Amino acid sequence: MKLLAVGTVAFDAIETPFGKTDKILGGAATYIGLSAAVLKTDVSLVSVVGGDFPQEYLDLLTSKNIGIDGVEIVKDGKTFFWSGKYHNDLNTRDTLVTELNVLENFDPKVPADSADAEVLLLGNLHPAVQLSVLEKMNSRPKMVILDTMNFWMDLTWDLLMEMITKTDVICINDEEARQLSGEYSLVKAAQKIHTLGPKFVIIKKGEHGALLFHEGKIFAIPALPLEEVFDPTGAGDTFAGGFAAHLAKTGDFSFDNMKSAIIVGSAMASFTVEKFGTERLVEVTGEDLKERINEFKKLTSFEVSL
């Protein structure tokens, strides 16, 4: 099946306890595309950049067979720019700069040959943009995956609710699940979010792994413990990209295959944090991914005989 993903393609400037970068390639759609490319999934992006966006970055995406016909280039505009500084624990960060630029008036274009994609990943963006992409599809995709964050809960609650109603899989972190549901227990939070629309609820817990809820069933996976988390930027997007790409590639939306997709997403995210930005992700091969999945298997497998 075909995967269509909407999200930012951007410049990031990142500071971690290990160093800092100038403006480098970033953005949710970038991580999603690169993650899907490792799985050799048929993936296309919907996004917008300015005339200042280097051709070499676009070439990088096409060299990975990522469709960029839906990435509009606003010649006289500037590309979205985000800058952030991580604290020593790498779990929290301060946003230093957010320049929306061309994102401010982003009217997403869905190319004709992407409008029938069966799997649609709506990356973290204004819910009005997410809704607009969904409306531009030829028919409702088989699987609509929504990534969002507390920011939109605070600012655009009603639009976000409308978007969530039309969502199959929602992907949020634990604090966002609590904010969205008003429940502290993540089990109760997921139950409440199911009633809003999503049949599948994924709760990302960063270094503590992820949870998947569906029809009273739960799947839990720890994160791969790493000696060094170098830069967490893009980990969530890489996760969502790997998850959606596995679903699109297999065309299997069973709970068991959703579990596999969570593992694929977690494995992909574990690469991203090893270097700055997309540096590690662009060099990951299918073989690397298989090895990493085996590490997850080893990490979590057990037998108990009482």
Residues near a second copy (CB under 8 A) are 39, 88-90, 184-188, 205, 208-209, 211, 217-223, 225-229, 256, 259-260, 262-264, 286, 289-290, 293, 297-300, 302-306
Pairing of strands 2-6, 42-50: parallel
Residue with tokens 């997007």: 237
Cβ–Cβ < 8 Å for 238, 7: no
CB of 250 to a second copy, least distance (A): 9
CB of 203 to a second copy, least distance (A): 9
Residue 52 or 183: the one with the smaller Cβ distance to a second copy is 183
Residues in Cβ contact with 173 at an 8 Å cutoff, skipping those fewer than 6 apart: 149, 203, 204, 205, 206, 236
Q: Please, which residues bridge with residue 144 across strands?
A: 120
CB of 266 to a second copy, least distance (A): 10
Alpha-carbon Rg for the chain, nearest whole angstrom, is: 18
Exposed/middle/buried for residue 121 (C-beta within 10 Å: 0-12, 13-18, 19+): buried
- State the number of CA atoms in the 13 A half-sphere of 167 facing the CB: 30
CB of 179 to a second copy, least distance (A): 14
Residue 104 or 252: the one with the smaller Cβ distance to a second copy is 252
Residue 15 or 99: the one with the smaller Cβ distance to a second copy is 15
Exposed/middle/buried for residue 39 (C-beta within 10 Å: 0-12, 13-18, 19+): buried
Helical ranges in the chain per DSSP H? 28-38, 55-63, 127-135, 150-155, 157-165, 174-181, 186-196, 235-250, 255-272, 286-300
Q: Please, which residues bridge with residue 173 across strands?
A: 204
Residues in Cβ contact with 194 at an 8 Å cutoff, skipping those fewer than 6 apart: 201, 213
Residue 126 or 204: the one with the smaller Cβ distance to a second copy is 204
CB of 287 to a second copy, least distance (A): 10
Cα–Cα distance for residue pair 299/167, rounded to 1 Å: 32
CB of 75 to a second copy, least distance (A): 40
**Which among 283, 292, 300 has a CA at the least distance from the CA of 265?**
292
Residue 139 or 302: the one with the smaller Cβ distance to a second copy is 302
CB of 10 to a second copy, least distance (A): 28
Residue 166 or 188: the one with the smaller Cβ distance to a second copy is 188
Residue 159 or 220: the one with the smaller Cβ distance to a second copy is 220
CB of 111 to a second copy, least distance (A): 28
Residue 88 or 139: the one with the smaller Cβ distance to a second copy is 88
